[in-house]
Amino acid sequence: MISLTQTSFLNGACISRAHARRLSDSRTRRPSSVKMAAVNSSSSSDHHRAGQDKKSAFMADSAAMRENAAAAAAAASSSTPVVVEEKESTMAGGARDVYGEDAATEDQFVTPWTLSVASGYTLLRDPNHNKGLAFTEKERDAHYLRGLLPPTVVSQELQVKKMMHSFRKYQVPLQRYMALMELQEGNSKLFYKLLIDNVEELLPVVYTPTVGEACQKYGSIFRRPQGLFISLREKGKILEVLRNWPEKNIQVIVVTDGERILGLGDLGCQGMGIPVGKLSLYTALGGVRPSACLPVTIDVGTNNDELLKDEFYIGLRQRRATGQEYSELLHEFMTAVKQIYGEKVLVQFEDFANHNAFDLLAKYSPTHLVFNDDIQGTASVVLAGLISALKLVGGSLADHKFLFLGAGEAGTGIAELIALEISKQTKTPVEEARKNIWLVDSKGLIVSSRKESLQHFKKPWAHEHEPVRNLIDAVKAIKPTVLIGSSGAGRTFTKEVVETMASLNKRPVILALSNPTSQSECTAEQAYTWSQGRAIFASGSPFPAVEFEGKTFTPGQANNAYIFPGFGLGLIMSGAIRVHDDMLLAASEALASQVTEENYKKGLIYPPFTNIRKISARIAAAVAAKAYELGMATRLPQPQDLVKYAESCMYSPSYRNYR
Ligand SMILES: NC(=O)C1=CN([C@@H]2O[C@H](COP(=O)(O)OP(=O)(O)OC[C@H]3O[C@@H](n4cnc5c(N)ncnc54)[C@H](OP(=O)(O)O)[C@@H]3O)[C@@H](O)[C@H]2O)C=CC1
Ligand SMILES: CC(=O)C(=O)O
Ligand SMILES: [Mg+2]
């Protein structure tokens, strides 16, 4: 069993560093011209441009950026001939291993990497290669496992059955979460097989709502570290810290600073559960191989007094660093990431507070492959839901009136993408398209006459209207056809709000996006009963089906988990080097097109998660096609059938034979 790792991790036979380097070089090294192209495309003038364009904080869509990105793509693609066939490939059907391409720079080889051979006891404790009782007799002989396992040999399918059997015995969600994390750390392939085969049942555990509780209690349930912790103490050493990570071909990083974890507020360093969970979905739902995924938490302190007092808190015990100290640390991280993993590593910002999220996206969009899931991924999933809801309510997007509770990342992100789509469909300026979209924040309806200064991301939504203090008055005044909750404030869609929506609309569209379940603006039961079964309802966290007047209503889940795994796969497989708004629109359309007549009959505006890998492949294909069309793809030539190609790129968690 051969893997590139650090000497200290494995105690098998170790090959010298020089030998490892020769092997790595011959297997994966790129021509140095590639490195130069990557470096040249991120000049400081790009940063300067980014800083100037605060208005495009939502998504970088300026012609200048497009040109800049296309030029960088051309530079990168013209010098990217290296595609490596990996024997331990994650690819199905013998397709080329897009994951095998090495984004390493020369610098990377000055690391403590050593090629190690794991066998025996070490192999059983290596989560990436452990198969537990599924090691065959031959493998037990060949890899010094005799006696280390009981005699029985079982299939992976039986292991899945057994794991689900014990998993279901746990009644407490947090225990289920801990059991799954233990499996992930002990036998990664079995964990992913379990998750893929039982996605609807396990998603609420590895993801919202349970991951929220796990983050709140992360310190007390902490057993083994997952992901990379980069704190203020690592300032000046982030490159070294990245080199400590045992995998080197990283393709997706999900990074948080823990300041806005779901709707639970500032959880500091304990936000790590979110990048870990999101990346599990990248693999299970989007097929990105686990070793290409890097969860990162940037710890700049926390303003959560309870955590600061908690003896089990795992982060820095100080209040949050802000201003220059904060931005310097983030900049060092972004620079190091590009230096070590290259131009095409995707950095997904997750659960940053909005006072940093928009600025980070605006700053790094022109120079890095960055994506903010809360702003962009959420926008794309909600737009998809609205496109499919039109089948049930009729009309076009331009015929509808939208009201949001919550004007932060999710709210304004979604609002802007709806406006963009309307503007494309109606060929009107986006400013015109915004006029039917209204947002309420903690101070009431956002209107132009508001005295207090508005944050920059709210300004486009300050329409002319007399002040309205609260949501119910806003519903009565605006008369929306669609009500979207993106406030993080639980149960704010009161009976009166839902009843008013139902009195205004035959089929009111009500989306309660806030997570976890406790923060949902209303429950599915409330939405259906208060609207007399007429609401078209979806929520960020899952709710069970509801019986009302002898009918069963199945709520959908409006969660960015539908988008980001396929979206990321599309970027990776096309070698995209920038994210563009049109890719988000393409992803929305691809997702909406997966809703079947049968789903519509049940009032669903999203397809079930059971088919998510097929859906992700279609989203990936649509995103990749857009990347090629925009000249932002570097993986050339373009595959003929992008859906098939996406499917062939997907990681399979089936065990391999170790000869
Ligand atoms: N389903 C999904 O896929 C996703 C769901 N979310 C969820 O959306 C929620 C919000 O996230 P995000 O947009 O990033 O958060 P932000 O902090 O950026 O925005 C929250 C917004 O809600 C407003 N708000 C808060 N409380 C109230 C209240 N009681 N009444 C009216 N407005 C209120 C805030 O007002 P003000 O500006 O005045 O402070 C702010 O405008 C979270 O719960 C998150 O979990 C996020 C991303 C994806
Ligand atoms: C789903 C998600 O990204 C959030 O609630 O923040
Ligand atoms: Mg999030």
How much is the average pLDDT of 113-122?
A: 73
Quick: pLDDT tens for 529-542. Answer: 999 999 999 999 99
For ligand 1, say whether the CB of 354 is within 6 Å of any of its atoms. Answer: yes
* pLDDT in the model for residue 452: 83
Nearest ligand (C-alpha, residue 488): 1
Cα–Cα distance for residue pair 423/383, rounded to 1 Å: 14
Is the separation of the CB atoms in 305 and 336 below 8 Å?
Answer: no
Cα–Cα distance for residue pair 347/508, rounded to 1 Å: 37
For ligand 1, say whether the CB of 105 is within 6 Å of any of its atoms. Answer: no
Look at residue 149 and give its three-state secondary structure.
coil
Task: Compute the distance from residue 351 Cα to the ligand 3 centre, in Å.
Answer: 5
Question: Which residues are documented as binding site for (S)-malate?
Answer: 260, 515, 559
Quick: pLDDT tens for 546-570. Answer: 999 999 999 999 999 999 999 999 9
More confident residue, 205 or 30: 205
* pLDDT in the model for residue 115: 54
For ligand 1, say whether the CB of 560 is within 6 Å of any of its atoms. Answer: yes
User: What superfamily in CATH does domain 209-372 come from?
Assistant: Malic enzyme, N-terminal domain (3.40.50.10380)
How much is the average pLDDT of 311-333?
A: 98
Strands (DSSP E) contained in 315-416 are: 346-349, 369-372, 402-405
| Mean of all residue pLDDT scores within the chain | 87
* pLDDT in the model for residue 88: 36
More confident residue, 475 or 93: 475
For ligand 1, say whether the CB of 41 is within 6 Å of any of its atoms. Answer: no
Percent of the chain scoring above 70 in pLDDT? 82
Identify the band that residue 312 occupies on the pLDDT scale cut at 50, 70 and 90.
very high
Select from 372, 513, 560 the residue to mutate for testing ligand 2; criterion: most ligand atoms less than 8 Å from CB. 560
Quick: pLDDT tens for 348-389. Answer: 999 999 999 999 999 999 999 999 999 999 999 999 999 999
Is the separation of the CB atoms in 500 and 476 below 8 Å?
Answer: yes
> What type of residue is 652?
S
Cα–Cα distance for residue pair 79/153, rounded to 1 Å: 48
Identify the band that residue 346 occupies on the pLDDT scale cut at 50, 70 and 90.
very high
Q: Which atom of ligand 1 is found nearest the CA of 374?
A: 47
Residue 319 has pLDDT above 60, yes or no: yes
User: Looking at 35, 189, 217, 278, which residue is catalytic?
Assistant: 278
How much is the average pLDDT of 4-26?
A: 32
How much is the average pLDDT of 273-280?
A: 98
For ligand 1, say whether the CB of 472 is within 6 Å of any of its atoms. Answer: no
Residue 11 has pLDDT above 90, yes or no: no
* pLDDT in the model for residue 77: 46
For ligand 1, say whether the CB of 489 is within 6 Å of any of its atoms. Answer: yes
Dihedral of CA atoms 447, 448, 449, 450 in degrees, nearest 10, equals 60
Dihedral of CA atoms 444, 320, 181, 2 in degrees, nearest 10, equals 130
* pLDDT in the model for residue 652: 97
Task: Compute the distance from residue 565 Cα to the ligand 3 centre, in Å.
Answer: 13
Is the separation of the CB atoms in 463 and 403 below 8 Å?
Answer: no
Tell me phi and psi for residue 13, to 5 degrees. -60, 135
For ligand 1, say whether the CB of 491 is within 6 Å of any of its atoms. Answer: no
Nearest ligand (C-alpha, residue 255): 3
Task: Compute the distance from residue 514 Cα to the ligand 1 centre, in Å.
Answer: 7
Q: With 0-12 CB in 10 A as exposed, 13-18 as middle and 19+ as buried, what is 464?
A: exposed
Task: Compute the distance from residue 189 Cα to the ligand 3 centre, in Å.
Answer: 26
Residue 220 has pLDDT above 70, yes or no: yes
Residue 431 has pLDDT above 90, yes or no: yes
* pLDDT in the model for residue 338: 98
Cα–Cα distance for residue pair 526/121, rounded to 1 Å: 54
Single out the residue of 288, 265, 268, 277 nearest to residue 209, CA to CA.
Answer: 277
Quick: pLDDT tens for 132-188. Answer: 999 999 999 999 999 999 999 999 999 999 999 999 999 999 999 999 999 999 999
Task: Compute the distance from residue 406 Cα to the ligand 1 centre, in Å.
Answer: 5
* pLDDT in the model for residue 317: 98
The residues of the chain that CATH labels 3.40.50.720 are 384-409+421-558
Ligand 2 lining (C-beta closer than 6 Å)? 208, 262, 351, 373-374, 515, 540, 559-560
Residue 237 has pLDDT above 80, yes or no: yes
**Radius of gyration over every alpha carbon of the chain, rounded to an integer in angstroms:** 24
Nearest ligand (C-alpha, residue 263): 1
Distance set, CA 359 to CA 58, 155, 352, 375, 498 (Å): 9, 50, 11, 12, 35
Nearest ligand (C-alpha, residue 265): 1
Q: Whose CA is nearest to atom 5 of ligand 2?
A: 262
User: Looking at 207, 364, 528, 562, which residue is catalytic?
Assistant: 207
More confident residue, 101 or 180: 180
Quick: pLDDT tens for 434-455. Answer: 999 999 999 999 999 998 889 9
How much is the average pLDDT of 43-52?
A: 35
Task: Compute the distance from residue 517 Cα to the ligand 3 centre, in Å.
Answer: 14
Quick: pLDDT tens for 73-83. Answer: 555 443 332 22
Weakest-pLDDT range from 38-42, 403-407, 495-499, 651-655: 38-42
Q: Is 278 a catalytic residue?
A: yes
Task: Compute the distance from residue 18 Cα to the ligand 2 centre, in Å.
Answer: 44
How much is the average pLDDT of 475-490?
A: 98
Q: Which atom of ligand 2 is found nearest the CA of 261?
A: 6
Q: Which atom of ligand 1 is found nearest the CA of 557?
A: 1
* pLDDT in the model for residue 451: 81
Between the two ends of the chain, the Cα-to-Cα distance in Å is 9
Select from 373, 376, 518 the residue to mutate for testing ligand 2; criterion: most ligand atoms less than 8 Å from CB. 373
* pLDDT in the model for residue 70: 54
Task: Compute the distance from residue 280 Cα to the ligand 1 centre, in Å.
Answer: 24
Weakest-pLDDT range from 88-97, 239-248, 489-498: 88-97
For ligand 1, say whether the CB of 405 is within 6 Å of any of its atoms. Answer: yes
Cα–Cα distance for residue pair 43/86, rounded to 1 Å: 33
Residue 458 has pLDDT above 80, yes or no: yes
The residues of the chain that CATH labels 3.40.50.10380 are 209-372, 562-649
| H or E element in which residue 75 lies | helix 63-78
- Determine the distance from the C-alpha atom of residue 327 to the mean position of all C-alpha atoms in its chain, rounded to a whole number: 22
Question: Which residues are documented as binding site?
Answer: 260, 350-351, 374, 515, 559
For ligand 1, say whether the CB of 262 is within 6 Å of any of its atoms. Answer: yes
Residues sharing a CB contact under 8 Å with residue 147, sequence separation 6 or more, in sequence order: none
CA angle, 637 then 639 then 642, to 5°? 145
ipTM of the complex: 1.00
Dihedral of CA atoms 564, 567, 573, 579 in degrees, nearest 10, equals -110
> Domain 562-649: which topology?
Rossmann fold (3.40.50)
Q: Is 602 a catalytic residue?
A: no
User: What superfamily in CATH does domain 384-409+421-558 come from?
Assistant: NAD(P)-binding Rossmann-like Domain (3.40.50.720)
Single out the residue of 501, 521, 504, 505 nearest to residue 513, CA to CA.
Answer: 521
DSSP character string of 357-368: HHHHHHHHTTTS
Residue 89 has pLDDT above 80, yes or no: no
Select from 213, 371, 374 the residue to mutate for testing ligand 1; criterion: most ligand atoms less than 8 Å from CB. 374
How much is the average pLDDT of 276-301?
A: 98
Q: With 0-12 CB in 10 A as exposed, 13-18 as middle and 19+ as buried, what is 331?
A: middle
Cα–Cα distance for residue pair 328/323, rounded to 1 Å: 9
For ligand 1, say whether the CB of 376 is within 6 Å of any of its atoms. Answer: no
Sign of dihedral through CA atoms 100, 105, 108, 109?
positive
* pLDDT in the model for residue 135: 98
For ligand 1, say whether the CB of 486 is within 6 Å of any of its atoms. Answer: yes
Single out the residue of 346, 339, 334 nearest to residue 372, CA to CA.
Answer: 346
pTM: 0.88
Residue 103 has pLDDT above 90, yes or no: no
How much is the average pLDDT of 4-10?
A: 30
Tell me phi and psi for residue 257, to 5 degrees. -115, 10
Residue 108 has pLDDT above 80, yes or no: no
Q: Whose CA is nearest to atom 4 of ligand 2?
A: 262
Six token digits for residue 619: 């989203």
Select from 264, 348, 515, 609 the residue to mutate for testing ligand 2; criterion: most ligand atoms less than 8 Å from CB. 515
Q: Whose CA is nearest to atom 18 of ligand 1?
A: 408
How much is the average pLDDT of 635-652?
A: 98
Strand 13-14 versus strand 113-117 pairing type: antiparallel
Six token digits for residue 462: 């300050």
Task: Compute the distance from residue 512 Cα to the ligand 1 centre, in Å.
Answer: 11
